[in-house]
Chain A
């Protein structure tokens, strides 16, 4: 018996999405081009019925601060809580962990010489909660257990796209070698192009976003040819969250993938927003 990766779900995690959900604005003119992508995501999740989500995301100063900033951090908790992030989002539902699978991922990664940080306690922020709220809006409890993997997108030096892809590949090998019957969805959250700070605040780059979306499924190595700093220039200083997508794509492995859905809309808040679902072809 071996675990199975059912596919990958990628989406922007802009905090304002949480505000729109709270107000019931999903069908407002400003928001509907983004939210209209999600019926197809939910249909797919219903079809493939995952019971575990392995999620590559970045913390925005809820769990991690600059006193100790891990480049890669893997959660190994039985439960993960969201909490007040300081600027008015509701506190979202807690997540049930899968510590045994987490430790299998951790052991596989360290064996593959990734010097990760292991977290038995770890709060998770909107970068996890919003993709879950979008995927399962009516759930009383999340239908999947969580293995969260945080990538530093806050403080340079950031890990390179190549390294994030390799991390994802190693996570994928761990998942495929897990002797359980879990059906696993891999998620990458954040992006696409956006920049919140500095005189270039408001920067978006549909051309680079197209490059990422066009190559994500069939030629992800193309995304790893830029350095992290080049990505910051191309995608904006918060657009570097594409690192989470690159890692998640790595975890999906080398076999051909089919595009289930793809949605791209400019702007949501200050962000070029995108959602993609890929599955084994």
Chain B
């Protein structure tokens, strides 16, 4: 799909009563919009608090109490308890904030990717590396313009 052709691809049609009908339908993707931002506020607020090391420690020492303090909805609490990343997203979690919870759980973004795509971490990493196959030789790698290559030449001669 070329960028120009996809720009003309269909937008989602839907009833005007559902704000999400204004959003594009992107496979495997829910854009974090007002609807999700409202649904996920408490969960995201809790995750935002994890910028503070004392709050991370408080979560670890009594997860139930910490979630209650932030007023997580039942759906959010269940998703966190199950360490179910897709359910956290469904419950309105945003990955920028969830990443802070993932840090507490010892999960990096490859671990998150594996959990969300139902792959092993090794398979998920292999999939990322395999994306290199789409990179042509003239796109990938370092290209120097006249100034930088001139400088490099000058250095070699020096």
A20 to B12, CA, bound (A): 41
Interface size on B, residues (CB 8 A): 69
For B24, what are the chain A residues with a Cβ–Cβ distance below 8 Å? 229-230, 232-233
Kindly provide the distance from the CB of A191 to the nearest chain B CB, expressed in whole angstroms. Answer: 14
Q: Which residue of A lies closest to B23 (CB)?
A: A229
Of the residues B26, B37, B47, B48, contact of A233 by C-beta under 8 Å: B26
Whether B48 contacts A202 by the Cβ 8 Å rule is no
Of the residues B2, B28, B104, B108, contact of A198 by C-beta under 8 Å: B28
A210 to B47, CA, bound (A): 35
A235 to B150, CA, bound (A): 34
Q: A261 at interface (Cβ–Cβ under 8 A)? A: yes
Kindly provide the distance from the CB of B69 to the nearest chain A CB, expressed in whole angstroms. Answer: 16
A199-B86, A225-B7 known; A269+B109 contact, CB < 8 A: yes
C-beta contact mask, B93-119 vs A, less than 8 Å → 1, else 0? 011111110111000111011001100
C-beta contact mask, B30-69 vs A, less than 8 Å → 1, else 0? 1111100100010011011011110010000000000000
Whether A260 contacts B7 by the Cβ 8 Å rule is no
Q: Which residue of B lies closest to A262 (CB)?
A: B143
Kindly provide the distance from the CB of B147 to the nearest chain A CB, expressed in whole angstroms. Answer: 5
List the interface of chain B (C-beta within 8 A of A): 1-4, 6-7, 23-24, 26-34, 37, 41, 44-45, 47-48, 50-53, 56, 85-86, 89, 94-100, 102-104, 108-110, 112-113, 116-117, 124, 127-129, 131-132, 134-136, 139-148, 151-152
Q: Which residue of A lies closest to B35 (CB)?
A: A156
Q: A103 at interface (Cβ–Cβ under 8 A)? A: no
A155-B33, A206-B134, A233-B26 known; A65+B95 contact, CB < 8 A: no
A233 to B1, CA, bound (A): 11
A207-B134, A263-B143 known; A155+B29 contact, CB < 8 A: no
A86-B100, A198-B89, A230-B6 known; A261+B26 contact, CB < 8 A: no
Whether B29 contacts A195 by the Cβ 8 Å rule is yes
A154-B96, A202-B127, A210-B139 known; A229+B31 contact, CB < 8 A: yes
A197 to B29, CA, bound (A): 7
A234 to B27, CA, bound (A): 12
Whether A200 contacts B96 by the Cβ 8 Å rule is no
Whether A232 contacts B141 by the Cβ 8 Å rule is no
Kindly provide the distance from the CB of A97 to the nearest chain B CB, expressed in whole angstroms. Answer: 22
Listed stretches A37-45, A71-79, A109-117, A168-176; interface member: A37-45
A264 to B139, CA, bound (A): 7
A196-B112, A200-B27, A232-B31 known; A61+B51 contact, CB < 8 A: yes
Whether B45 contacts A264 by the Cβ 8 Å rule is no
For A226, what are the chain B residues with a Cβ–Cβ distance below 8 Å? 3, 7
Top-6 shortest CB links A-B = A87-B103, A200-B28, A86-B100, A199-B28, A197-B95, A156-B33
Q: A279 at interface (Cβ–Cβ under 8 A)? A: yes
Whether A198 contacts B116 by the Cβ 8 Å rule is yes
Kindly provide the distance from the CB of A36 to the nearest chain B CB, expressed in whole angstroms. Answer: 6
For A246, what are the chain B residues with a Cβ–Cβ distance below 8 Å? none
Q: A253 at interface (Cβ–Cβ under 8 A)? A: no
Task: Jot down 24 A-B pairs with beta carbons below 8 A, ordered by A.
Answer: A40-B142, A40-B148, A44-B148, A65-B45, A86-B51, A86-B100, A86-B103, A154-B96, A196-B99, A196-B113, A199-B28, A204-B134, A207-B1, A210-B136, A226-B3, A229-B23, A229-B24, A232-B31, A234-B3, A260-B148, A261-B148, A266-B128, A266-B131, A267-B128
